[in-house]
Structure 1
Amino acid sequence: MTMSLRLTCLCGKVSVELHGRPTARANCHCSSCRGFYGTSIFAATAWEADSVRIGGGVGRTFKHPEKQLTKTFCDVCGEVVFGTNRLEMRVVPNALVARATDGKLDAALAPTMHLFYRQRVVDVSDDLPKYLDGWDGPTYTP
């Protein structure tokens, strides 16, 4: 499914346009995402770089001091509008997408897996596969 979505930060100064479809849809439990985004589970979609554009305003970018991660955020309200991972994919928080779609994620954007579940700080009870590391490795079995 190809889509086109326009998302905005909390204050509306910075907008992001998504075109096409996400490459991955996941709940990430890795310590890098937890620390960088300040959450116990980072729910997001990953997009090819050319599928994500800043539409309005100018976001500021912060580069992780040690890892190949950046996040682009609004310099007024501080909300992260997307991150960039080590594969140069744009990682868009599901909270931002859900706000733009009346609080619910379309099935085409809903997470399909858990990544780095070995590093979790919170157990999750759902039917999604829970990859202990990346999505090409072994899965968690209770």
Structure 2
Amino acid sequence: MAPTKENEDPSTNANEEWKKKAPYSIHEDGAGFKVVYEANCHCGRVRYQLNKEKPLASKFCHCTTCQTQHGAPFQWAAIFHKEDINFSHGHHNLEWYDPGEKSIAHKLPCKVRCSFCHSPIMDEGRNMILLFPTLINFKSEAEKRNFEVEMHMFYTHRVVDIPDGKPKWSGLSDDSDLIEDSPESAKKEWEKKKAEKKKEEKKKEKEEEHQDKKQKTDHKQNGENGKNEDGEKGYELRSKD
């Protein structure tokens, strides 16, 4: 959990090195960080800004971890780069949770929340962050539409059917199977990707087989050359005798 002593100097505390790295490092005024959205937790102690109009992707996740952590049927998450966020207030009110090891150490990937009201703030990955659009203070419906959900993940774990015509993955997107209610266009695109992936795998297998045969041939030739050299040396010695 992040330290909570208000009079502690972060520069002298090794435990607060995380503040100097994205996504927690502060973007100073004039550093080119253009504020597009502002967001906050339920109690308002944690506040942050975003500098991108649209996320890289927006998804509903139905995995059991998200259901448990959010106390909800599913999680609405928007993906951003770590440099796209600026925490304007509340560093001391952040805490972490690693659901894999069930630890509160800051170990990636992890969950991040407010230590006071316990509102989920984001999921921090190794390269990206998953923010929760419900915390963003949208000023119009047009802004909210920028975060429109594109797909469902882990839909086999759903607690309620959502017949919205969006692609529905049995697990992670692009790494599992598209299942019921997914649009035909998405299914065709996925079948195309799978065929291309299979083709690449076969190509790789052939290249590995070719390389293996070449190594065996080279090894055999080297062995025969060694025998020939030994025979020639023996003949020379016998001739001298």
Relative contact order higher in (CA < 8 Å, ≥ 6 apart): 1
Matched, 1:13 2:52: no
Instruction: In structure 1, list runs of 5 or more residues that go unmatched.
Output: none
Distance in 2 between residues matched to 1:78 and 1:131, nearest whole Å: 29
Q: Which segment is superposed worse, 15-24 or 57-66?
A: 57-66
Distance in 2 between residues matched to 1:65 and 1:44, nearest whole Å: 17
Q: How does 1:44-123 map to 2 (within 5 A)?
A: 44-58=77-91, 59-66=93-100, 68-85=108-125, 87-97=126-136, 100-101=137-138, 104=141, 106-123=144-161
Distance in 1 between residues matched to 2:120 and 2:99, nearest whole Å: 17
Q: How many residues align?
A: 138
Q: Secondary structure at the match of 2:79?
A: strand
Q: 1:132 aligns with which of 151, 154, 170?
A: 170
Q: Which segment is superposed worse, 73-82 or 63-72?
A: 63-72
Distance in 2 between residues matched to 1:78 and 1:125, nearest whole Å: 31
Residue 55 of structure 1 aligns with an amino acid whose one-letter code is S
Q: Secondary structure at the match of 2:88?
A: strand
Displacement, 1:103? 8.2
Displacement, 1:130? 0.8
Greater percentage in helix: 2
Q: Deviations over 1:58-111 (max 9, x none)?
A: 2322222525542222233221222214x44211112212xx115856221111
Q: 2:68 aligns with which of 35, 44, 50?
A: 35
Distance in 1 between residues matched to 2:139 and 2:74, nearest whole Å: 22
Distance in 1 between residues matched to 2:140 and 2:113, nearest whole Å: 21
Residue 4 of structure 1 aligns with an amino acid whose one-letter code is V
Q: Secondary structure at the match of 1:66?
A: coil
Q: CA RMSD in A?
A: 2.4
Identity rate of aligned residues, in percent?
Answer: 23
Q: Deviations over 1:38-67 (max 9, x none)?
A: 322001111111112211122322222525
Q: Is the 8 A contact 1:36 1:64 kept in 2?
A: no
Q: Is the 8 A contact 1:114 1:128 kept in 2?
A: yes
- State the 4+ residue runs in structure 1 displaced beyond 3 angstroms: 102-105
